[in-house]
């Protein structure tokens, strides 16, 4: 008889737990399941374009950084001396080696120009003699600069309708040539 009472106690305990759980889960009847369905539909509708837009934007940003860094590398190479500033092939090679993802698709345009030290943002001269004759006054002398413009076409891995298939990214760097 003792075993039967013990068994009845265990069964009674399980029934009370079951009743308590059923009471808790009765509130889940009705519309609560539809919220999960609505959430999954919203993620499918808005999540996919958001993900694709993020991939597209990341491609633009990465390409832009790569092109700007290539222009900066070319200008750093050219700024080391007047002789190297006029070495267009060397500047182009330095810039293209920095942007190895683009290879020869990276177009690099180096330019050397001169400006007066008193008006750096002023007139740009193509020759040192023109700058020397224009830079007059106390402490005004010509300074040599190298400007490198790098451009490259970027094609994102995912094409979004309404946007161009290929973007042209550009980066510019200007540095004073060390004498």
| pLDDT tens, residue by residue, 49-70 | 888 888 888 888 999 999 999 9
| Higher pLDDT pick, 17 / 148 | 148
The answer to whether 124 touches 81, Cβ cutoff 8 Å, is: no
- Asked, for residue 133, whether it belongs to a domain, the answer is yes
- Asked, for residue 130, whether it belongs to a domain, the answer is yes
- Asked, for residue 117, whether it belongs to a domain, the answer is yes
The structure's pTM equals: 0.71
Mean pLDDT in residue range 13-34 = 71
Tokens matching residue 82: 């007047």
Tokens matching residue 63: 């390409």
Distances in Å between the alpha carbon of 62 and those of 65, 66, 68, 69? 5, 6, 10, 11
SS3 state at 168: strand
pLDDT of residue 30: 62
pLDDT of residue 50: 86
Band (41; pLDDT cuts 50, 70, 90)? confident
- Asked, for residue 37, whether it belongs to a domain, the answer is yes
SS3 state at 160: coil
Tokens matching residue 127: 């020759």
Q: What is the DSSP string of 25-72?
A: HGGGSSSHHHHHHHHHHHIIIIIHHHHHHHHHHHHHHHHHHHHHHHHH
**Exposed e or buried b for every residue in 157-178, given b needs 16+ CB within 10 A?**
eeeeeeeeeebebebebebebe
CA distance 47 to 81: 53
pLDDT tens profile 124-155: 888 888 888 888 877 788 889 999 999 999 88
- Asked, for residue 90, whether it belongs to a domain, the answer is yes
pLDDT tens profile 110-119: 999 998 887 7
Number of domains in the chain: 1
Distances in Å between the alpha carbon of 113 and those of 47, 98, 123, 172? 50, 24, 10, 14
- pLDDT at residue 2 greater than cutoff 60: no
- Asked, for residue 18, whether it belongs to a domain, the answer is no
pLDDT of residue 109: 95
Instruction: Tell me which DSSP letter residue 103 carries.
Output: G
- Asked, for residue 15, whether it belongs to a domain, the answer is no
Cβ-based burial of 114 (10 A; exposed 0-12, middle 13-18, buried ≥19): buried
Residue reference for tokens 């609560």: 32
Band (18; pLDDT cuts 50, 70, 90)? confident
Q: Which domain holds residue 47?
A: 33-176
| Higher pLDDT pick, 175 / 36 | 175
- pLDDT at residue 78 greater than cutoff 90: yes
- Asked, for residue 162, whether it belongs to a domain, the answer is yes
């Amino acid at each position: 008889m003792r075993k039967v009472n013990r068994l009845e106690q265990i069964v009674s305990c399980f029934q009370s737990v079951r009743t308590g759980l059923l009471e808790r889960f009765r509130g889940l009847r009705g519309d609560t399941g539809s919220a999960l369905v609505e959430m999954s539909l919203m993620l499918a509708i808005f999540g996919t374009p958001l993900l694709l837009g993020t991939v597209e934007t990341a491609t633009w940003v990465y390409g832009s950084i790569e092109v700007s860094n290539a222009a900066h590398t070319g200008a750093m190479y050219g700024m080391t001396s007047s002789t190297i500033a006029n070495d267009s092939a060397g500047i182009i090679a330095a810039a293209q080696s920095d942007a190895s993802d683009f290879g020869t698709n990276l177009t690099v345009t180096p330019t050397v120009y001169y400006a007066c030290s008193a008006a750096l943002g002023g007139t740009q001269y193509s020759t040192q003699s023109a700058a020397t004759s224009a830079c007059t006054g106390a402490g005004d002398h010509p300074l040599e600069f190298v400007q490198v413009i790098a451009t490259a076409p970027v094609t994102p891995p995912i094409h979004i309708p309404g946007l161009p298939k290929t973007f042209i990214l550009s980066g510019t760097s200007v540095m004073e040539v060390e004498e």
